[in-house]
Amino acid sequence: MSGLSYAAAATEGGRVDRGSDVESMTLLVEETREVLRRRELDPVADRPAFTALAHELVTDYLARAAAGVVPPLPDPAAAGRHLVDTFSGFGPLQPYLDDPEVEEIWINAPTAVFVARGAAPELTTTILTADAVRDLVERMLKSSGRRLDRSSPFVDATLPGGERLHVVAPDITREHLAVNIRKHVVRATRLDHLVARGSLTPHAATFLDASVRAGLNVLVAGATQAGKTTMLNALAGSIPASERVITCEEVFELRFAARDVVALQCRQAGLEGTGEVTLRRLVKEALRMRPDRIVVGEVREAESLDLLVALNAGIPGLCTIHASSARDALTKLCTLPLLAGPNISDRFVVPTVASVVDLVVHLRVDRDGTRRVAEIVGVPGRSEDGVVETSDLFRRVGGRLVRGRGFPPALDRFARAGIDVASLLQEPVAAGVPAGVR
């Protein structure tokens, strides 16, 4: 029996089939729990020690099984993996967390566990119980310090492996806990990583790298699962090492190499209804931390106003936003700040967006699940009749990202960084193909 089959069969939360294999695993799990209690060992905090203990327990069990004292183990190696998954990991879900092809896991009901591979959803054979799902959620939240109860039926948290957890509890859902675990399968830390995956061309990557180094403000847009966080990670990898970076997120997701970086995340209110730290607060506090660059994981609401104020103060920034096109991203960024209060007017917001946003990178997911850059537009800094002007820098033509007719803004910043924008944007010519033919 495989490790996943054991996970689905054990009393820790799976479908129980009566038989000697289930009996042996049940007995081994119970013995392991008793040993942990006596030794006062935390298997999550000290996984290496527990892995060694699991091997020791399986070896001891095999010796007793050979003497006929206990039922035999059909697959000792799988039994050891199951012990580690059950006590140090997240039981039946751990094989999916360990699978590099799985991008997301979600539970609609104990009998409906789904995963996504290559953006394609599939129903798994894993069957749980309601108690098992609740136990898994409690274990996942244990390390984050966040809670889920009737007064707080939604929760976002980061798992120890960096995965993002989102849970909704009844009676917001009809009957069962709704659980989503989003993994970061490909952690692109540089733009050339995205080039290697076919998300954008070397020409566009070179331009974006130069734009970030020059200090342009970049807005990354796209639908859910379009790769916005991955692109933000890759763009942040182009920030000069001498700069101090402050990141602000709902939960920790961004991971990029930087010498001087402080990562901030939000906090939900406590049992008394106090202590909440919002994204708006984080952006405001970031301005007091001597930032050379601000990176905001995503703007959804009124925090967009605080981001615009920060960018308007001359601090370069990167951010993501949900939108179906680059134009829609700018329109949305002009609308969200109005949520900050009735005294905020579009007469302030629209010109501010036009003046502080320099580039919009829009991403899309193709039918085969590949994430690609659909377009890159520049924002010249002008608006008319409440509409922000844009300049077409790169666009998809026939499935290929090609140079547009537009020109980027902030030429003075490129010049200060020693970057020749004209030569940078000149379309490269393939060997043996005259310019203008491609």
What tens digit of pLDDT does each residue of 254-278 get? 888 888 999 999 988 776 778 889 9
* Cβ atoms 125, 111 nearer than 8 A: no
Domain at 93-182, CATH class: alpha beta
Q: Which CATH superfamily is domain 191-425 in?
A: P-loop containing nucleotide triphosphate hydrolases (3.40.50.300)
pLDDT digits (tens, 9 = 90+) for 283-310: 999 999 999 999 999 999 999 999 999 9
Q: Give the Cα separation of 267 and 278 in Å (integer).
A: 7
Residue 112 has pLDDT above 50, yes or no: yes
Residue 2 has pLDDT above 80, yes or no: no
Q: Which residues have CB under 8 Å from 245's CB, separation 6+?
A: 236, 239, 258, 260, 261, 262, 291, 292, 293, 294, 295
Please give the single-letter amino acid code of residue 290.
R
Band the pLDDT of 225: cuts 50, 70, 90: confident
pLDDT given for residue 63 in this prediction: 93
From 94, 68, 93, 80, select the one nearest 25 (Cα to Cα).
80
Residue 377 has pLDDT above 70, yes or no: yes
pLDDT given for residue 186 in this prediction: 54
pLDDT digits (tens, 9 = 90+) for 398-417: 889 999 999 999 999 999 99
Band the pLDDT of 17: cuts 50, 70, 90: very low
pLDDT given for residue 248 in this prediction: 96
Enumerate the domain spans of the chain: 19-89, 93-182, 191-425
Q: Where does residue 40 rank: exposed (0-12), middle (13-18), buried (19+ CB within 10 A)?
A: exposed
pLDDT given for residue 430 in this prediction: 53
Q: What angle do CA 377, 200, 434 make, to 5 degrees?
A: 90
pLDDT given for residue 287 in this prediction: 93
Residue 18 has pLDDT above 50, yes or no: no
DSSP string covering 195-259: HHTTSS-HHHHHHHHHHHHHT--EEEEESTTSSHHHHHHHHHTTS-TTSEEEEEESS-------S
Identify which has the larger pLDDT, 1 or 124. Answer: 124
Please give the single-letter amino acid code of residue 188.
A
Mean residue pLDDT across the chain: 88
pLDDT digits (tens, 9 = 90+) for 130-188: 999 999 999 888 877 788 888 889 998 888 888 889 999 998 999 999 999 998 765 67
* Cβ atoms 353, 333 nearer than 8 A: yes
Please give the single-letter amino acid code of residue 218.
V
